Amino acid sequence: MRFLPSIITALTALTLTSCSTTTAEQYEATALTSTSRLVLYANDLTSQPQPRIETFANTSMLNRNGLKPTGAVVGPDDRGLWWPTLPPPPSVDEVEQRKRPQEEVGKPELVKDVKYFPDLWSG
């Protein structure tokens, strides 16, 4: 009975050292970073729960394994992501053209988004 803790420790160490990391190496980390210029439209921007959203411009960039993608201008950020150039802001005329009668127009907003994808590595 005195040897039982030693045997358990030895078996645990043997099991842990025999584990392989080949599964982790078959995947690569992929993220799509995007930045969009949005404008909210509503009959009452302060009280309407779901305003209409119009997207005017969008830029995106595919990140793989933290490597700097071609064309990246910002990064890496605190999460290791790279970002493309900012999309141009909409002109006043563009914003007004999409306005419906009786609607108010919000200020153009810059929105950043990240989508993560687990990819099977084919290498």
Per-residue model confidence (pLDDT) at position 116 = 94
Residues 49-106: tens digit of each pLDDT: 999 999 999 999 999 998 999 999 999 999 999 999 999 999 999 999 999 999 999 9
Interatomic CA distance for residues 53 and 41, integer angstroms: 6
| Residue 122 DSSP class | -
Domain boundaries of the chain, sorted by first residue: 29-120
Q: The tokens 């949005």 sit on which residue?
A: 38
Q: How far is CA 20 from CA 17, 24, 75, 120, 123, in A?
A: 8, 9, 33, 18, 18
pTM of this prediction? 0.69
